[in-house]
Structure 1
Amino acid sequence: MGKVCLGRQPILDRNHNLVAFELLFRQEESEETANFTNDLSASANVIVNAYGKFGIHNVLGHLRGFINADPDLILSDIISLLPSKHIVLEVRESACITAEFLQRCKELKQKGYQFALDNIVAINSKVELLLPLASVVKVDVLALTRDQLTQLVNQLNHWPVLLLALRVESQEQEEHCRQLGFQMFQGYYFAKPEVMSAKRADPGKMPLLKLLALILRGNSLDSNSDSEIDEIEKEFKLQPSLSYNLLRMVNAGNDGLPLKINSIKQAVQLMGCKQLQKWIQLLLYTSSQSKDSLSDEITQTAVIRGKLMELIATAERPHDKNYQERAYMIGILSLLDEQLGIEMQQIIRKLGISDDMTLALLTRHGRLGQALKLIEAKEKGEIASIHSILSELDFLSLEELSDIETQVKGWIDRTNATANKLSDVA
């Protein structure tokens, strides 16, 4: 399945307190420096991984993250996916500085985004254009002599910016920067970039394209109808890892306090179709898979569990749609620990799902927990356990359970047939 990686390097204050991280593109766990040819691609991967794969609060806590932001990223809609309280946008003076770019930066600053000038070694005409936007200037101290550094700091002191000493590699360098008044420090002397990793579980391009088409169709209406949102929800229900990332994105701007989400539909509505469209486009840009992820065995098992849970819940409470939706979510989330290589306790802590869902996933207790336990016993062929759980549930017979399994088999066959047709067309 492969791994997804994200680098982060600590940024410290004068007292060596951790105040921020620089988030870095990494392809391998052992990789110390980035290897890429496209700045936008690297930044897009950093954003997808930090927010969707790892969860921004796991990556940053309550600190800020510095992210490289070339003009293409600044001018794109991707920026609106990033809450301003989380990030500092790093701009390099080597970038193409146009009037459009400067105006966009001013608008973002008015919205609360902060900017840092990266790898500064001298003040030139481009730097002078960017300085009014900046809150932080990252000075490459390794590239300058002591006299050059002193001269540059004296010039920068005319601007209301914080100075960050970049590429500090010795105690002597740190001490000199302290004497010059630098407020923040980053470099190998303090810490090399840490590479975080997790199992890769990309949804694949075909499901993303289908989702994007549904969202664009919805955006063409004056307002998103229930039927349009229902179609979007159905597609998410076929993608456990994508649904998980959706819940992470919805909670990203909530100060680390997970919202109580009972259904995928609720998560879609909370995010909003415009933001959802931008996110799907970003995932398409970074996706490395071309296959439909329903062909993945774990994904397919999770989807089958979700549908079984939904139909079992329907048999128990035929008029309680909310209960049925919670049951489906339990089914598709139940294998995420195996799929992502993350403990279920950690997954749940970041998702903000309801208490009965948490109980079911962690302990298999409660009515929904018993239903999940029943499905797992059926997968393993544990006849005695199946009869025991059915007796405890007391609303479902073995024959009715077999009928439900037949319904699910037909549903999954139809879903796979539709996916194959779409793949052939593509």
Structure 2
Amino acid sequence: MEVYVARQPIMDRDEKCVAYELLYRNRHIDVYHHENGDKATADVLVNSFINMGIDTVTNGKPCFINFTEEMLHFDFASIFSPDKMFIEILEEITPSQKLIDTVIKLRKQGYRVALDDFVLDVQNPLSVELLKNANIVKVDFHDTTKKQRQLIERLANAFNTLLLAEKIETREQYLEAKKAGYHYYQGYFFSKPVLIKSNDIPVNFYSYIQVIQQLSTKEPDISKIAKYIEQDLSLSHKLLKLINSPAFKTTKTIKSIQQGIVLIGLNELQKWISILAVREQWGGSNYLSEELLRMCLTRGKLCESIGKKLLGNEGSSSCFLLGMFSLMDTVLQTPMKKILEDLPLDEEIKDALNGKDNLLHHILQAVKSCESGEWDYVESFISTYTVSSQFVFTSFKEACVWTESVLKHELVNRTKSSQSSYVN
């Protein structure tokens, strides 16, 4: 599944790029089609920070991201490091005391707040107060009059709020803004938005619901949460990418999904799962093909069974990840080595997935051989590691039965979700 983000540079007075605004796109045509605002914000956050990697998208520079009122008040911004982003408040949000209190709270936490397409309402004291508490005010040079701009400029200077001139389309507009004392500039005169493309794994929306329900209980069961995430290739992949993102940059590697959950913490996991759920709720019906999902689940379960036999309970979790991720290059249409660069997996798991000779690789090869009917390799594996052929074949059968039960459960809930969407 292809995913997109557009970025447009923000320039300083020396015409050097100092940041990028990240814009929602849902197709390869670089045009914004009106979408649910919460979904658009969630999509940009997920695609930029997880699927693509924010430093890759912005070349290490800060980004401006539009936040809807609901996304602001739910404190989703607190997931991100303040030095990575400017929180951009959309012009359609009506100034209120609640909004101003949220801005003040964000500023105290170190976040920088920008007002998008700001038009001052002098009759509303809250409009003035909002301008006073923002770091940057973006003034639209296409849709405002010179008189409107001058009023905003005077107040911004009085409040030490920085000015950003947007929709600058000619040198004349740029020079006018520069003369008026604007600090930053954005528009077609410098660059149109540039489309960036990546690949994502289609999701099972019901997995999000299961995780959210468990997180909402008085005493969340981490092992249950891990189970729900493990069985969803998309969620597993996103969790690992999240751990490796600037928000949770760590040098630690993990051997299991449960270990990753502990590393992130339940509070932060709940915020991220909520963002993902908002995104997918409005995201249509993109699903991983049933056969690919069947192969991933069966490999994961069979690797887990063999791993438990040879390595004990601790090793079985690593083996489940090994099997689930063994088709990631097929799913994402990207070389396995490239995919693993962005995942904080234990080196032994990475080596096995990259084809290096270790025990986990031998387990994976035995599982693939069961899958394809290459019994000579299976017999060789059985002989080398002194496990019985009955154990291997029984485990294979059990893995297939377990996979079908998971798929049946998913299909039922996918159908319920589709019917609910139709009714709504």
Question: Which position in structure 2 is the counterpart of 1:249?
Answer: 242
Match of 2:292 in 1: 298
1: CA distance, partners of 2:155 / 2:286: 56
For 1:401, which of 392, 401, 405 is the aligned residue?
A: 392
Aligned counterparts of 1:15 and 1:362: Cα–Cα separation in 2? 46
1:334 match:
326
Equivalent position of 1:350 in the other structure: 342
C-alpha displacement of 1:16 = 3.7
Q: Choose the corresponding residue for 2:308, options 307, 314, 333.
A: 314
- The answer for the alignment partner of 2:28 in structure 1 is 29
**2:222 maps to which residue?**
229
Determine if contact 1:11/1:18 at 8 Å carries over to the other structure: yes
Tell me which residue corresponds to 2:404: 413
Cα distance, 1:252 vs structure 2: 2.9
Q: Is the 8 A contact 1:23 1:65 kept in 2?
A: yes
Distance, in Å, in 1 between the alignment partners of 2:36 and 2:331 is 29
CA distance in 1, matches of 2:95, 2:155: 21
1:45-56 mapped onto 2 (5 Å cutoff): 45-56=43-54
Q: Do residues 113 (structure 1) and 111 (structure 2) align?
A: yes
Residues 156-198 of structure 1: per-residue CA shift (max 9 Å, x gap): 3223233222112233333343343333222122222122233
Count of aligned pairs:
414
Match of 1:203 in 2: 203
Matches of 2:238 and 2:133, distance apart in 1: 33
Question: Deviation at 1:257?
Answer: 4.9
For 2:412 and 2:96, how far apart are their aligned partners in 1?
Answer: 45
Secondary structure of the corresponding residue to residue 102 of structure 1: helix
SS in structure 2 at match of 1:402: helix
Q: CA deviation at 1:268?
A: 1.4
Equivalent-residue separation in structure 2 for 1:167 and 1:152 (angstroms)? 16
- Structure 2 distance, partners of 1:212, 1:290, is 20
1:207-264 deviation per Cα after TM superposition (whole angstroms, max 9, x unaligned): 22222222223xx13xx4xxx1111111111101111111222333457555412210
2:3 is matched with 4
Contact 1:258 1:350 in 2 (8 A): no
Residues 179, 322 of structure 1: CA spacing in aligned structure 2 closer, same or farther, 3 A cutoff?
farther
* 1:138–1:166 Cα contact (<8 Å) kept: yes
Q: 1:96 aligns with which of 69, 94, 98?
A: 94
| 1:364 and 1:372 in contact (8 A); partners too | no
Q: In 2 relative to 1, CA 382–137 (structure 1 residues): closer, same or farther, beyond 3 Å?
A: same
Per the alignment, residue 422 of structure 2 pairs with none
Offset from partner CA, 1:102-124 (integer Å, 9 cap, x none)? 11221122112210011135574
**Unaligned runs of at least 5 residues, structure 1:** none
AA in 2 matched with 1:30: I
TM-score by length of 1: 0.86
Q: Deviations over 1:23-80 (max 9, x none)?
A: 1111111132x21253223212222322333333433353222111232221124333
CA contact (8 A) 1:292 1:419 kept: no
* Residue in 1 that maps onto 2:81: 83
State the SS of the aligned residue for 1:334. helix
* Equivalences for residues 187-202 of structure 1 within 5 A: 187-202=187-202
Maintained 8 Å contact 1:251/1:259: no
AA aligned to 2:196 is M
- Mapped to 1, the partners of 2:186 and 2:308 lie a distance apart of 56
Cα distance in 2 between the residues matched to 1:12 and 1:292: 37
Contact 1:202 1:289 in 2 (8 A): no
Q: Label 1:387 to 1:180 Cα distance change in 2 as closer, same or farther (>3 A).
A: farther
